[in-house]
Amino acid sequence: MKALGRHIIAELSQCNPDALRSLTKVKRSMVEAAKRANAEIREIKFHRFSPEGVSGVIIIAESHLAIHTWPENEYAAFDIYTCGDTTNPEKAYQYLIEVFEAKKVVITTIERGIEAPTEAYVHRFNPTETIESAPLPSAMSQAV
């Protein structure tokens, strides 16, 4: 059965800590990721913590993108939830991997809103994907 939505959960490790502590860079990168996913942005809210770390959410017509960073651990956690057929969340997470220069990435995809015979909706996990990336191979992040 077709899912109403797709929820991508990503763990980015061994990232550039300077990129993760910059409120401006994190916010601009997330906005650009939403645009690359062909999402319709409705609201944007970000916060920088003291001494470091950034959290933020972008509300899109199709659902949301959210991020939490731990520069001291070179780690970022983000999720992208989209519904409908007009967005491409893979483009968003591929862009963020490059921008934050993540060397190790674990992606889990959950299909959400699958109608079950019990008149309830359920979700289905897809296999977890581990990506080992090289340091920033392209000029994609120069736009940020």
- List active site positions: 63, 68, 83
CA 131 distance to own-chain centroid: 14
Structure tokens at 56: 């933020």
Please say whether the beta carbons of 64 and 55 come within 8 A: no
- Asked whether 105 and 13 are in contact (CB, 8 A), the reply is yes
**Lookup result for tokens 């862009």:** 95
* CA gap 70, 100 in Å, rounded: 12
Q: Which tokens in the block code for residue 104? A: 């190790």
State the DSSP H helix or E strand holding residue 48, giving kind and residue range, or none if neither: strand 41-48
